A and B are shown apart, each in its own frame.
Chain A
């Protein structure tokens, strides 16, 4: 069936390094994707989105890459900071939004 998933449940990086969080999807008709960040004790918060007519979108220290050929997207965080420690979810454009299980990013000082 259709799904949105993440490759790794946890990721640990050194402060200052770049982080890459991956997500795979199976619905080739999906045309819009969103990344959310969930800090401990809080609800998810929108980070960045991308439409299927784009391969790349940049925000402040974050970049999302979309590869429609292999149905894969990634979230890149530049110069990772302790405040980036959180669980990151990708979500697929549907009325009944589907989230992956999330990747927990831990930033080591």
Chain B
């Protein structure tokens, strides 16, 4: 079983719809992250959380929100999806301490907004 699981793996939605992407982990890590990946732009950080109830904005948080209700779960919401949010989304986790910056990624969610 994957340590970092993202659901769904693929999603097609329409402009204006609210959608939620889920991430769960069995690694026991405190830190969790959401990224989006666009061709030629690499990974850009949307939000990150260092603990339950802790939420921090990343580089491109506008149009997104997150919820961290449990250590193992970190969900990303698009309140009103728009076409330029079409991208590949990754969830990642990392431990605290010395290895805090080594991140472990899920397999990704491919989102298309029509």
**A13-46 CB contact bits vs B (8 Å, 1 = yes)?**
0000000000000000000101000000111111
Interface Cβ pair total, 8 Å cutoff: 53
Question: Roughly how many angstroms separate A44 CA and B50 CA in the complex, as a whole number?
Answer: 20
User: A98: which B residues are within 8 A, CB to CB?
Assistant: 45, 59
Question: Contacts A95-B48, A96-B59, A97-B33 hold; do A89 and B107 have CB atoms under 8 A apart?
Answer: no
**Contact residue range for chain B?**
20 to 34
* Majority secondary structure of chain A interface residues (helix, strand, loop or mixed): loop
Contact B56 A43 (CB under 8 A): no
Contact A9 B102 (CB under 8 A): no
Residue from B42, B58, B108 within 8 A of A102 (CB atoms): B42
User: B41: which A residues are within 8 A, CB to CB?
Assistant: 101
Within 8 A of A (CB), among B2-61: 4, 33, 35, 40-45, 48, 50, 56, 58-59
Contact B42 A43 (CB under 8 A): no
B77 at the interface (CB under 8 A from A): no
B74 at the interface (CB under 8 A from A): no
Residue from A32, A46, A100, A102 within 8 A of B103 (CB atoms): A46
User: B58: which A residues are within 8 A, CB to CB?
Assistant: 96
Question: Roughly how many angstroms separate A95 CA and B30 CA in the complex, as a whole number?
Answer: 13
Residue from A34, A43, A91 within 8 A of B106 (CB atoms): A43
User: A91: which B residues are within 8 A, CB to CB?
Assistant: 101
B92 at the interface (CB under 8 A from A): yes
A84 at the interface (CB under 8 A from B): no
List, sorted by A's number, 10 A–B pairs whose CB atoms are closer than 8 Å: A41-B108, A42-B108, A43-B108, A89-B42, A95-B56, A96-B59, A97-B101, A98-B59, A99-B44, A102-B42
Binding site for A on B (CB under 8 A): 4, 33, 35, 40-45, 48, 50, 56, 58-59, 90, 92, 101-108
Binding site for B on A (CB under 8 A): 9, 32, 34, 41-46, 49, 89, 91, 93-102
